[in-house]
A and B are shown apart, each in its own frame.
Chain A
Amino acid sequence: MIELKTITSIAIRAIKANKMRSSLTSLGIIIGVAAVIVMLAIGNGAQVSIQKDMKSMGSNLMMIRSGSSTSSGARGGRGSLPTMKAGDGDAIQEKISKIKLAAPVLEQTNQIVYGNANWATSTTGTDNRYFQIKEWELDYGRNFSESDVKNAAKVTILGKTVVTELFGDVDPIGKTIRIKGMPFTVIGVLDKRGENGMGHDQDDVVFIPITTAQKKIIGITFPDQVNMVMLQAVDSEATYSSQEEITQLLRQRHNLGENKDNDFIIMNMTQMQEMMESSTQIMTILLGSIASISLLVGGIGIMNIMLVSVTERTREIGIRMAIGAKAWDIRWQFLMESIVLSLIGGLAGIITGLLGVQIMKTITTFTLIIDWAYVIIPFVFSGIVGVLFGFYPAYKASLLNPINALRYE
C-alpha cells in the first residue's frame, strides 16, 4: 500500500503541472465556499440583530390593548374604544399566577422644553414594572419611588436621545424640563438601547409616573384609563396558556354579558418573536442552500476536469499499473488530487469569504456576523465535495486495462 505522504506529493505535483487549469477548477469551489460564508454571515447577522431587538422588547411579553368600538355599524379600529385600566393590569398580576408582571402604559407625543431647547417626543406614563419587563437598567439617577406614583409626582426619567437633544453635555439630574408647560424634575437617565428592528429609536422617550400622566398630562375619558397593559408571563408557554384566564378575568371586570364581544385585544409578542426568529432561520437556511448549490456546481467542475485528466493521463496510469500499482493505488491518486484541489479551493474560499464579509460590512448597513462554525462547515463540505466528485473519475481510472493504457497515445 502506497504511503499517504507519497500520494499527496503526487497529487500536488499533478495540480502544479497544470496551474491555470487547476486554479480555474478551484475557482468553482472558491466561489462556492465564499458564497456560503457570506450568506451565512448575513443570515446569522439578521438572526442575532433580531434576537437583540427581541430581548429589548422584553421576554415572554404580552400586551392588552383596548378593543374597537362600533358606532352605527362603523367599526372604529384598534384602541378606538378606550376600556383598559391600570387596575386591570394589577388584577391580572395578582390573580393569574402565570403572569409575573403587568405594567400600565399611557402614551402621548408632546413637546418637551428645557431652557431654549425643545424636542417633540413620546411621553410614556408607566411605573417601574415597565423597566423590569424590558430589562432596561438606569444608566444613572433613580427609579420612580412608590410615593412618586402614589402622589402623581412631577418627576421624569429620560431616554438617552432626549438627554442629548435637550441637555447636550449638561448633567440632567435635578434639572427641570417642561411637558405641556408643567415642570418636571429629571430623576434618572436610562441605558442606551439603540434602534429596534424597525429603525425606531428606543431612546427617544420620556417616562413619567402613570398617575401623573393620567391626572396631569394626558386627557383621559374615564378614571384610571391606559392605552395598554404590558404583561410578562412566567415562561413562553404561559403566554399561550394564560390567555383564557386573562380573557375571563377582563370580561368579568368589564362587565361584559355573554353575547358581547371582547372589548380588548390580547397580543402575544412571544408568538411574534418566535415567528420572526423562525423566519430569519428559514432565511439563513435558504441563503445557505442557494450558496451551497454553487459549491455543488464547483464540485461538478472538479469532476469534469478530473475526467479529462484521467483520459489525458491514460498512459501514465498504464505505466503505474505495469510497475505494480493496484486498483486502489490508482484510485487513491486521483481521489487525492480532487481532494487537494477542493481543499485548496476551500481555503482560498474562506479567505475570499471573510474578505467579502468585511467588504459587505463597509458598503452596506447589514449586520454581518461570522460564526466560526459557519466557516468550518463549508470548508469541510468542500472536502466532501472533492471526495464525492473525485470518486467516479478515480474509479474510472482504476478500471483501465494496463495493456490498453500503455498503448494509448
Chain B
Amino acid sequence: MSLIKLENIKKSYPLGDEMLEILKGISLEINAGEFVAIMGPSGSGKSTLMNILGCLDKPTSGRYFLDNKEVGTLENDDLATIRNQKIGFVFQGFNLLSRTSALENVELPMVYAGVPDFERHKKAIKALKAVGLEKRMDHQPNQLSGGQQQRVAIARALVNEAPIIFADEPTGNLDTKTSIEVMELFTKFNKELGRTIILVTHEEDIAMYADRIIKVVDGEILSDTRNKK
C-alpha cells in the first residue's frame, strides 16, 4: 500500500494573460518507510512538487492521495491539520522562531495539535535528545550554530510522530561536515524509526543518502531509479 500516490498532477500559475504550466502531469507512488530524493535543476518544478506533496499548495488538476485520503481538494484549514499530523518539515533556512528557545520551537507542532503542556514538554525533550541537543534546550536559535539549528528543526519534524518528513535542501546552508551529520540523522530516523523521508536537493552527494532518486526536469519526471550504494 503506498503512502503517497500522485495521479497526473498538474500545476500552473498565471503569468500575464497566459498560464505558465510548472508541473505537466506527474504520477508517482511512494511507500511508507522509503527514503526518496527529488532532484532537478532550479526552475524544474521540484519545489512546486515539494509544496504540493507537503500540502502547502494545491494542484491545478490531478489527484493526490496521502495515506489513502484524497488531499488535493481539501480546504486550507484541513490541509493545516494534515501538515500538523502527517508531515514534518525541514527547510534550507531552518525556519525556527527567533527569540524562542529550542525546546519551545520543538513544542510548536504540538501546540497546534492541542497536546497538553506537560506531555508537550516531555515529548519535546525526548525529540531533542534524539538529535543530541538535550544540553542546548534553552538556547535560542541565534545562540546555536547552523548545524545545531537544523537539528532543532529535525527534532521539530519528528516530535509529532508524523510519518513523513519533507526536507527541502536541508544542507544548503551547512558546511560539509555538518551536512554529513544531518544526513546521517535522516538516515537513522529512516532506518530505525521507519519514517518516510522525502528530500529535495540539487547536490548529487546529498541525494546519494536516499534509496530512491527521482529526477524532475521541466515539470516532468525524467527518471525514477533505485540508488545503488
Contact = CB atoms under 8 A, between A and B. Distances in A.
Given A322-B83, A324-B83, A402 B56 contact: yes
Contacts of B114: 1-3
B87 to A, nearest CB: 9
A13 B105 CA distance: 14
Interface in B156-183: 156, 160
B67 interface: no
A148 interface: no
Contacts of A1: 114
B222 interface: no
A323 interface: yes
Interface string B195-219: 0000000000000000000000000
A27 B97 CA distance: 28
A406 B92 CA distance: 11
Given A315-B95, A406-B91, A320 B112 contact: yes
Contact of A13 (B76, B81, B99, B108): B99
Nearest to A327: B77
Interface string A368-409: 000000000000000000000000000000000011001000
B55 to A, nearest CB: 9
Nearest to B77: A326
A324 B95 contact: no
B95 A406 contact: yes
Nearest to B78: A326
Contacts of A287: none
**Would you call the interface of chain A mostly helix, strand, loop, or mixed?**
helix
Interface residues of A, number: 24
B84 A323 contact: yes
Contacts of B83: 322-324
B108 A323 contact: yes
Interface in B39-94: 51, 54, 56-57, 76-77, 80-81, 83-85, 89, 91
Contacts of B99: 13, 17
A325 to B, nearest CB: 5
Give the bracket for the number of chain B residues in contact with chain A: 20 to 34
B147 interface: no
A319 interface: yes
Contacts of B91: 406
A206 to B, nearest CB: 78
A321 interface: yes
B112 A323 contact: yes
B56 A323 contact: no
Contacts of A3: 111, 114
A19 B109 CA distance: 27
A83 B112 CA distance: 89
Contacts of A6: 111
Contacts of A319: 95-97, 108
A224 interface: no
A2 B95 contact: no
B77 A324 contact: no
Contact of A324 (B51, B57, B98, B109): B109
B28 interface: no
Interface in B102-128: 108-109, 111-114, 117
A316 B111 contact: no
Give me the 9 closest cross-chain CB pairs, A-B, nearest first.
Answer: A324-B84, A324-B112, A326-B77, A326-B80, A319-B95, A323-B109, A324-B83, A325-B112, A402-B56
9 contacts: A13-B100, A318-B95, A322-B56, A324-B84, A324-B109, A326-B81, A327-B76, A328-B77, A403-B56
Given A319-B96, A329-B112, 14 more contacts: A5-B117, A13-B100, A315-B95, A319-B95, A322-B54, A322-B56, A322-B83, A324-B80, A324-B83, A324-B85, A326-B76, A327-B76, A328-B77, A406-B91
